[in-house]
Amino acid sequence: MENQRGVALSGLLFWSIVLVLVAVLGMKVAPTYIEYGKILKDAKATVAKAGPDSTVADVRRTFDKFAEIDMLDFPSSQLDVTKDGGRIVIEFGYEKRIHLFWNVSLLIDYKGSTAGS
């Protein structure tokens, strides 16, 4: 008699449920990560466009223009604009709460800076 090979129905159901839960988590987290990437890209573009003699208000207006183009719901008032050695540095941080199911949520703390660019 030959040995049978394959997957049991219970194993198939278990791994299917695990795969579906991971996929749903990925679909809920991916948009927030993409939004973070857009905010960081807009902050870097703002620094590249702003001159060394730009004021904080000028930097915030420039960021708002970039954010409007990318359709971001992130106000420039949450940006921390400083100068480091004559170079403009923009830092930001915010929390994103993602509802998963019932009373379970995922809290992600995003922080970004243009200091490394």
Residue 71 banded pLDDT, cuts 50, 70, 90: very high
User: What CA–CA distance (Å, rounded) separates 29 from 22?
Assistant: 11
User: What would the two tokens of residue 29 be?
Assistant: 């987290």
User: What CA–CA distance (Å, rounded) separates 104 from 82?
Assistant: 37
For all residues of the chain together, what is the average pLDDT?
Answer: 92
User: What CA–CA distance (Å, rounded) separates 94 from 83?
Assistant: 21
Radius of gyration over every alpha carbon of the chain, rounded to an integer in angstroms: 22
Tens digits of residue pLDDT in 7-44: 889 999 999 999 999 999 999 999 999 999 999 999 99
Cβ contacts of 11 within 8 Å, gap of 6 or more: none
Residue at 58: amino acid letter: D
